[in-house]
Amino acid sequence: MVALAGWGIVEMLPPDHPYAGSWHADADRSTLLDVHTQGMGVTLHAGNTSRVEVTADGGYDDQAPEFSMTASGQTIAVVGTCAGGCSVQLHITLPAALAATVETGGPAISAAGLSGRLDLHTTSGAIDVDNTSGPLTLRSDDGAVTLSGSRSPSAKVTTGDGAVDATFSSAPATVDIKTHDGAVDLRLPKDAGYSIDAHSSGSTPEVALPTDRNASHAIDVETRGGGLKVH
């Protein structure tokens, strides 16, 4: 991928070589999908079979992407590397209840329709999670985190430099959100009681829900820079 600059306009040319591939593994006895990538974005979708299926699409200039998929014990491991001048996205379909750990060295992560435990980490990219019902651990060192329609019983969200926008469709037992430099907008169902701790170094927190220290739903939100809303 080459950038051409002229008269203040930058155009990104497409990669020289297209890249595509597909792989699969039987997950009938697996309890964890473990994904590690460098330079590859990852999208997780719930499937209706007992297999983990991976498709890749994108392109590269000089060095072809490297990819492996192995099953060992109860873990299916996916490893991908996409060096400079390379842009590849992995689309992974997995059983909805299978737990997944994903770590990318940069690009974004998205997940939708899953009920297993999710542990998602990107060093520089956004995380987008939609309609999940398993425990969540979401970490972006430099990127926003969006959580939509969540029925997850617990969520721990951390960003270094990025906003958090989270909506729960059912009351979570615990929520722990911390940002170093980013706003937080948290929406919770109003038919439950919450114990809420909200702290912001850069603004006055806006908490529109009653706080009950004896409530069974614990909400802890902290930001060092940015607005904070709980409603």
Residue type, 174: T
Q: What pLDDT sits at residue 85?
A: 78
Query: What's the rounded Cα separation, in Å, for the pair 122 and 144?
Result: 10
Identify the DSSP state of 13: P
Of the CA atoms within 13 Å of residue 156, those in its CB half-sphere come to 8
Q: What pLDDT sits at residue 95?
A: 98
Q: What pLDDT sits at residue 15?
A: 58
Partners of 129 in the β-ladder? 111, 147
Query: What's the rounded Cα separation, in Å, for the pair 229 and 204?
Result: 9
Q: Which residues lie below 8 Å from residue 38, measured CB to CB, with a gap of 6+? A: 80, 81, 82, 83, 104, 105, 106
Per-residue pLDDT tens digits of the chain, which is 231 residues long: 444 444 444 444 555 789 899 999 999 999 999 999 998 999 999 999 999 999 999 888 888 889 999 999 999 999 999 887 788 999 999 999 999 999 998 789 999 999 999 999 999 899 999 999 999 999 999 999 999 999 999 999 999 999 999 999 999 999 999 999 899 999 999 999 999 999 998 789 999 999 999 999 999 999 988 899 999
Q: What pLDDT sits at residue 190?
A: 95
Helix and strand numbers (H, E) in the chain are 0, 23
